[in-house]
Chains A and B, each alone.
Chain A
């Protein structure tokens, strides 16, 4: 058949055979290896196979990264990438529930600060609180519920728990919730309603560091089981009997702020500030006290009793002490103290630290005699920060031991590690049919729990807090949960059969119970939003009124047999009860008193050490009864010879992660001890006798073992006096200076700016001139600033070995110097950071100009210019420069989310040091510029200053005569460290105020 000719044709070929041309045109640009339509040949098959094999192996080479985060297509209103936002919330690190402001940057909370508006802490935040943000970015958190040690799902966990609960309901089995003090009213109500649904349900509150005796004592004396709200700010004379209220006792941040404000020497009229500490252990408070009375550990309560007797006689009442009178010099001191307290009636405070009811009743009596209830102790709006009941705990342990508990939920506690469980009790815990822990990490209790339902981090979930009755806060989430954990609030709602989100639960509770307590009638939405914004709301208390003091409740102490030696278990500031033992910042934080890191130890007095022939780091065997622990010894000046003190909170399973910590090299030594953990858990030495958790144990014996375990102590020399055999004579170095209140108008006005100079000043400082002033009289050494700075400035944690090599990286450190008698010294704490010298010795010697002076008075370190000669560090008279000896590992990707994006992460081989938080200066300048205004005083707050619970640090522009720092610099107490070498530091110190004694002699400082 002849092809029909097309109507329109492109060429002769098409005109002749249009079909073939079309076919050609169709296949002309096809370059597939397989001919379409044609039957595939052998070669095509092989080509295709080859391609598929190659292509599939290529695609298998790498998995595309799992991307869950989506960029906000519609950006949140007002949300600017790279800008920090601050949200008020609640600190979850301990039951103090301080108000905090979390700095959120690009959707991630990266720094916590105290909430300056919060009525309790007013801006301070302790080291523990600062460090607690790491818990959010902890890659060792339990990601999913676990059932019998294996990963499970929430559905499975919930259904198993529901089975156990329904069985308990039917069999009237005991359902118990064991928690530490919970300050969240919503959670408390949730648990209460949960346990009330069972025939035998109970919520047991117990604290590893118990203050149960204080509550019990008030139940006896005032008829209400409450913890008074101690108001140190109103107290002028404080007598503390072994209560380390500046270090670790209850709410130290709040106490520190009140204490330092009350003692401020510059206020008019000046208060009769006085602090006496009676103790056997050497505590932060003891070192700070105006008078420290060292007594044997068993004499503390007797001393209190004799004080009570004196006070009673002053008030015309009769009280005959039952205990033997302490030594004559102690009695004389007690007489003076009683008089001081008496003179400051209603403005004084007697604190008693030990967890024993009889002693606490005496303290209550003393405060009652002094009329302190209602002024310095508030029982109508009590503190809710310790609610634990040792009696309930003892009962629970008995029930567990008796196999009576069917279901036990554990929340905020780690009973296996926190409590002195006998082997039988421990096994009984394992036999509980349904033991559920809500711990966020794999702790000792989780190891024996049937089901592990991880609680969310406080920054991931809604919650609330009422640390002091009438002061409520909302805890708002700052980030979506990073894993599949579930807030305890939601878990209990689910198990109660009424699932709801934490947000709904909190809001509902606030609507029903909190809002009606509001002082003024505002709509709920307004109330809620204001509380969210401010971080707190003040409401009326719903507690019944406390009864009058029942004098009959106070009974004299019995005669106490003098023990030969006593063990005291205490908690370190920072580490506290060990719940944060996973936290490298806290592990590496030097203890304010001993300056030891990464370990607990048996603290003994110098005389005792001499008697035993042990030095720091010699392992001793501490035995009480059948229980014994082997710990390195640490010789502590000022401690009573009859006392051995061991810190709790160590030897935790969650510290096992530090086995491999620190830079690796041939001489590297492990950070953990022989047990693979940091320190040794001393909880087994606690006693639970008489329904009271006792931290003081008589009959302790010490024995040497001949073994050694070096301690990582950051400061090897402890006084300003040089060793006697090397002393050139003359006064001690004037590094920490003191001024006596007895001195007329303090000290000669010496203005160092008058020092004659040969040359005109190098640095004119036309704009700002940044400077800092630190009040040494206020500083307690609590070390909150150290951790705050470490987090703000991405300062690495280096591990025990590096600390032992004296290479810790803290940009601000606290030098602690003892003064006075080694038997009973007082201590001075001196925060030491880059002094930003005007004539900086470091700046001239750097060959590559890696450290230069700014026109605003900052000594700046240029990391990427630094080649690491370390000449600057050698030439620094303060030795505040820190060298990156290694590339410190930053392998934990999750933890890296916490890095401050405004601060460079330094690499190996460069020098670093305090920058006066230059990123904060820049941030404040930019905001001021955007708002079209001048920078004003208080716009720039450094991390250390912000965190300081004692308000001991001010920072600002010294060119502005009205700035706070300029005013502090004009204070007659002002001096500069090493003024005589004329480096002209920009950091000024205010001298310590000595409230007792006379100036010892001309020019005798430190």
Chain B
């Protein structure tokens, strides 16, 4: 049975890599000077980051009035960016936790980078709730902590408070999960490093990893438990983010479909971002053997699934509005599609529903340039989805006297660019300083293939064993 499956499925890692080769290939970028391309990308990212920092500094010094918001549209770019970045993070958690529990072993090539992406995206996301405050220096009031202000507490009924918990939990769990997964690889590069500062640092962070059977066993158990802990977060974080809108009374926000719709959208956008990053990384860092067409194909199929869910959600919203008989609700959706900001709606719909339809075609899925371009479109589309939900609902709500419009200011655009600057700066540093592919896990996959090709099937192939094997081999 297992052998038959192995014949049908192509190998996960091509190029018939040996275990030592894997270590060599993955460690190489960390052990040589970065190329010109990296420097160019890094400088651009840092420049954007600096621009964003400048914009945020100016805004905090001057006031939220430097954004294009108004009395009716109290949130726009700020919360759009927040939801966008939080959403991006979800694919990482999905790949690293859920796919791990489901034994989707193709994930090994992409999970490290996807998790790093999660962390950096959550960092970018975390900026926005902070800076969107009128008085960001009072942000800590949102947490329940013992204080000397009488019995003054925070409001447990407010979705924003839930948000603060959800996002901080998400960040802590993701960071822990990512770090625990890194330990065997840190040990590997520690062992390859020349004595010196870098090696000392790696020694500290690899926590004295010795590759013994017991170490491996505990590592695997911890990893599995953390995967179990992280799994509900894939669903919960964006569910809670969606409650920011769903619990309100504003037509277009007050919708019970939001939690599943947001989760699907988050995974959708995250997958697109993983693809964007991976397609560049495999090219720039010569990882074609590790991130293969098969990986891209699988992720494209996930995108098709999520795109369909999101598309269904868009239709359901319209149906609900129509069926509700609520004139405000009906107007909000007609206004979304045909009102003064309709172009944002059609950008969203095109990028998220129509363009991903191309991925049904196998030839498109196999063409990396096509997939790359489509992934970019999805990134744009998902940003616009949040913009459409937030701004088009607010700008024309119940009382026509309140109807306004919204145009971003230069400060807002600079802040958005700055968040991309931060994301890519962190990601580029990550590519240089840490193994972008989980070596230990990939070796397990090679072992898996070998187990089918060269060893007796009776050996079994549970995760613990194979990884343990490969781990032992690393140390050889």
Contact = CB atoms under 8 A, between A and B. Distances in A.
17 contacts: A663-B65, A666-B66, A720-B400, A722-B400, A726-B331, A728-B334, A802-B65, A807-B70, A815-B401, A817-B401, A847-B160, A847-B164, A870-B69, A874-B74, A875-B248, A878-B399, A910-B135
Interface stretch (A153-161, A413-421, A549-557, A880-888): A880-888
A848 B141 contact: yes
Contacts of B158: 844-847, 871
Interface string B318-349: 00000000011011001100110000000000
B338 A885 contact: no
Nearest to B321: A728
Contacts of B58: 666
Q: Which one of B64, B154, B394, B396 has the highest number of Cβ atoms from chain A below 10 Å of its Cβ?
A: B64
B312 to A, nearest CB: 22
A869 interface: yes
Contact of A877 (B68, B249, B330): B249
B213 interface: no
The 7 closest A-B pairs by CB, nearest first: A868-B134, A909-B134, A885-B65, A728-B330, A815-B401, A870-B74, A806-B70
Nearest to B59: A665
Contact of B404 (A806, A865, A908): A806
Given A847-B161, A849-B152, A879-B402, A910 B134 contact: yes
A982 to B, nearest CB: 9
A817 B400 CA distance: 9
**Interface size classification for chain B:** 35 or more
Contacts of A911: 134
B332 to A, nearest CB: 9
A546 B268 CA distance: 87
A717 B405 CA distance: 11
A875 B246 CA distance: 11
B77 to A, nearest CB: 13
B409 A667 contact: yes
Contact of A807 (B71, B138, B398, B402): B71
B133 interface: yes
A808 B401 CA distance: 13
Given A865-B141, A877-B250, A717 B397 contact: no
A716 interface: yes
B160 A879 contact: no
Interface of A: 663, 665-667, 715-720, 722-723, 725-728, 730, 733, 735, 802, 805-808, 813, 815-817, 830, 832, 841, 844-849, 865-871, 873-875, 877-879, 881-887, 908-911, 977-978, 981, 983
A844 B66 contact: no
Contacts of B157: 844-845
A885 B63 contact: yes
B142 interface: yes
B65 A866 contact: no
Nearest to B72: A879
A717 B403 contact: yes
B152 to A, nearest CB: 7
B411 interface: yes
B112 interface: no
Contacts of A718: 400
Contacts of B64: 868, 870, 883, 885, 909
Given A666-B410, A875-B249, A867 B330 contact: no
Interface of B: 58, 62-66, 68-72, 74-75, 132-136, 138-139, 141-142, 152-155, 157-161, 164, 244, 247-250, 327-328, 330-331, 334-335, 338-339, 394, 396-405, 409-411
A50 B21 CA distance: 82
Nearest to A798: B65
A845 B330 contact: no
B400 A717 contact: yes
Contacts of A817: 400-401
A716 B403 contact: yes
Main secondary structure of the interface of A (DSSP, over half): loop
Contacts of A873: 71, 74
Contacts of B248: 841, 845, 874-875
Q: Which one of B62, B66, B402, B409 has the highest number of Cβ atoms from chain A below 10 Å of its Cβ?
A: B402
Contacts of A727: 331, 334
B322 to A, nearest CB: 8
Contacts of A667: 66, 409-411
A805 B249 contact: no
Nearest to A877: B398
A874 B244 CA distance: 11
A841 B66 CA distance: 27
B398 A878 contact: yes
A805 B334 contact: no
Contacts of A722: 331, 335, 400
A879 B395 CA distance: 11
A718 B161 CA distance: 37
A716 B405 contact: yes
A884 B72 CA distance: 13
B71 A665 contact: no
B132 to A, nearest CB: 7
A733 B400 CA distance: 9
Contacts of A719: 400
A886 B334 contact: no
Contacts of A848: 138, 141-142, 154-155
Contact of A874 (B327, B331, B394): B394
A868 B135 contact: yes
Contact of A869 (B133, B327, B400): B133
B134 A832 contact: no
A909 B63 contact: yes
A735 B328 CA distance: 12
Contact of B401 (A666, A715, A730, A845): A715
Contacts of A717: 396, 400-401, 403
Contacts of A983: 249
Contact of B134 (A723, A735, A867, A977): A867
A869 B130 CA distance: 9
Given A725-B338, A733-B327, A805 B68 contact: yes
Nearest to A875: B248
A666 B199 CA distance: 49
Nearest to A851: B155
Contacts of A813: 401
Nearest to A802: B65
Contacts of A716: 403-405
A665 B396 CA distance: 27
A627 B153 CA distance: 67
A733 B71 contact: no
Contacts of B404: 716, 806
Q: Which one of B74, B152, B248, B398 has the highest number of Cβ atoms from chain A below 10 Å of its Cβ?
A: B74
Contacts of A841: 248-249
Q: Which one of A806, A841, A881, A887 has the highest number of Cβ atoms from chain B below 10 Å of its Cβ?
A: A806
Contacts of B66: 665-667
Given A728-B331, A848-B154, A875-B249, A884 B159 contact: no
A865 B152 contact: yes
A832 B399 contact: yes
B334 A726 contact: yes
Nearest to B333: A728
A887 B65 CA distance: 9
A844 B160 CA distance: 10
Contacts of B153: 849
A853 to B, nearest CB: 12
Q: Which one of A871, A878, A884 has the highest number of Cβ atoms from chain B below 10 Å of its Cβ?
A: A871
A806 B395 CA distance: 11
Given A848-B154, A884-B63, 19 more contacts: A716-B405, A719-B400, A728-B330, A807-B65, A816-B401, A844-B247, A847-B161, A848-B141, A867-B141, A869-B133, A874-B394, A878-B399, A878-B402, A883-B74, A884-B134, A909-B63, A909-B133, A978-B398, A983-B249
A940 B244 CA distance: 38
A977 B247 CA distance: 21
A865 B71 CA distance: 20
